Amino acid sequence: MSSPSVKGMRDLFGPELDWFQRIEHTAARAFSRHGYREIRTPILEYTEVFKRSVGDSSDIVNKEMYEFLDKGNRSVTMRPENTAGVVRAMVEHKLLGSSDPQLFWYIGPMFRYERMQAGRYRQFWQIGAESFGVASPESDAESLLMLHDFLRELGLKQLVFSINSVGTPESRPAFHAAFRAFFQEREASFCGDCHRRIHENPLRVLDCKVPSCQAALEGHPVITDFLDEGSKRHHDRLKELLTQLAIPFEENPRLVRGLDYYTRTAFELLSSDLGAQSALLGGGRYDGLVKQLGGPDVPAFGWALGLDRLAAVLAKLQGEAKPAAPALLVPLGEAAMARALELARDWWAAGCEVQLETRGGALKKALQTANRTGVKVALILGDGELEQGLVAAKHLETGVQETWRLDEVPSRLKA
């Protein structure tokens, strides 16, 4: 018996892959309408890229990265997220040298050594979008609008943005002092990880998922009470724009992202399409990250969604994402087979989706396969049809059979 796949990794095929592909195609259309171009970054990056960006205090760096030494004794990491890699690419290839906005989207596998749960994998797929060069709340709103419309196009309806502002590095010390004082009064109620986080990055305590820690946070200082004037104006303007665009949102003072590079806007997108409201994705503004990774001082905004989870949600809501089955061309006999190869090549070149039956043998067997795979039209080419320049078109759902001229097959199939 062959070895199974590595724990936490999986093969994609069949109905699940059909949903992945539908999401990918919809994303490419939706994002290109907004002027975003695709970027593809390597799966392997030097470990320092993530330690400098994601932050040493994050669970990703502390617990979850696939980090190892390569044959050159260099520390490399299989990317746990892609924003850092995209920023590294922007800096390395000097794509941020002008004042023009740079808009990119990506898709690909990420890797985190997490505890296995239903629907969570150690290799998982993400789609994300990053915009560089614009610091305005209008940029935030435009990106959220693009995301909202993309998911609506896929069929999700009950969408609400959960938003917060985490301010700037300059404005946080006052919040940190107030929050540490609050923490000290009830530190026995917090877990060991939170005791580490309160010293490294107090915001991370708000992100703890342990129920007792969430209960202990009741009445905590709210970061939006400590915002600098610029961050407050930015946050207020974003709320105005979302209201104007009729995009549902709610404020969540505990919302912080799991990565250390965020500034000002942080958000999650919640969906109640399946009943209980849960987060589908998140992101926010990270104005200091490009400079932190050695580039110019360029503002940025981005988000990433889990493709695995989104595909599962859509499958539960809508069932299988069955692609349209191609027509099946069934040649009967050697002469018909030789001609069928030529015809199929012409029809493929004309943009038709036609599967060629190459097994030979009985027509009955070919039609049984066609019925099982969802084929709507079987094109039967025998010696008689070949002599007359015709093909018999059998509509499998109704059983109706008609005759088509060979030269009209492409237009018939497209119709």
For residue 187, how far is the Cα from the chain centroid? Answer: 37
For tokens 């199929």, name the residue. Answer: 344
324 touches 297 (CB < 8 A): no
* Cα 200 from Cα 166, distance rounded (Å): 16
Domain positions in the chain = 14-171+227-318, 327-414
Residue 277 has what pLDDT?
A: 59
* H, E, C per residue of the chain: CCCCCCCCCCCCCHHHHHHHHHHHHHHHHHHHHCCCEECCCCCEEEHHHHHHHCCCCCHHHHHHCEEEECCCCCEEEECCCCHHHHHHHHHHCCCCCCCCCEEEEEEEEEECCCCCECCECCEEEEEEEEEECCCCHHHHHHHHHHHHHHHHHHCCCCEEEEEEECCCCCCHHHHHHHHHHHHHHCHHHCCHHHHHHHHHCCHHHHCCCCHHHHHHCCCCCCHHHHCCHHHHHHHHHHHHHHHHCCCCEEECCCCCCCCCCCEEEEEEEEECCCCCCEEEEEEEECCCHHHHCCCCCCCEEEEEEEHHHHHHHHHHHHCCCCCCCCEEEEECCHHHHHHHHHHHHHHHHCCCCEEECCCCCCHHHHHHHHHHCCCCEEEEECHHHHHHCEEEEEECCCCCEEEEEHHHHHHHHHC
User: Regarding predicted confidence, which is higher, 257 or 362?
Assistant: 362
pLDDT category at 63 given cuts 50, 70, 90 is confident
| Res 114 pLDDT > 90 | no
| pLDDT tens per residue, range 121-173 | 999 999 999 999 999 999 999 999 999 999 999 999 889 999 999 999 888 88
Phi, psi of 191 (to 5 degrees): -75, 170
76 touches 44 (CB < 8 A): yes
| pLDDT tens per residue, range 368-399 | 888 888 889 999 999 888 889 999 999 998 99
Among residues 123, 90, 104, which one has the least CA distance to residue 27? 104
Phi, psi of 392 (to 5 degrees): -85, 120
On average, the pLDDT of the chain sits at 90
CATH tag for 327-414 (out of 3.40.47.10, 2.40.100.10, 3.40.50.800, 3.30.70.20)? 3.40.50.800
| pLDDT tens per residue, range 293-333 | 899 999 999 999 999 999 999 998 888 777 777 899 999 98
Phi, psi of 247 (to 5 degrees): -100, 115
How do strand 327-331 and strand 377-381 relate by DSSP bridges? parallel
19: Cα within 13 Å, side-chain hemisphere: 21
Q: What is the percent of the chain with per-residue pLDDT over 70, rounded to a whole number?
A: 96
Same topology between domain 14-171+227-318 and domain 327-414: no
| pLDDT tens per residue, range 183-231 | 999 889 999 989 988 888 888 888 888 999 999 999 888 889 999 999 9
- Low-confidence winner among 56-65, 83-92, 165-174, 364-373 (lowest mean pLDDT): 56-65
Residue 164 has what pLDDT?
A: 94
- What is the end-to-end Cα distance of the chain in Å, rounded? 48
Find residue 403's DSSP bridge partners. Answer: 392
| pLDDT tens per residue, range 320-331 | 777 777 899 999
Architecture of domain 14-171+227-318: 2-Layer Sandwich (3.30)
- Low-confidence winner among 89-93, 285-289, 320-324, 396-400 (lowest mean pLDDT): 320-324
Helical axes 14-33 vs 307-318, angle rounded to 10°: 110
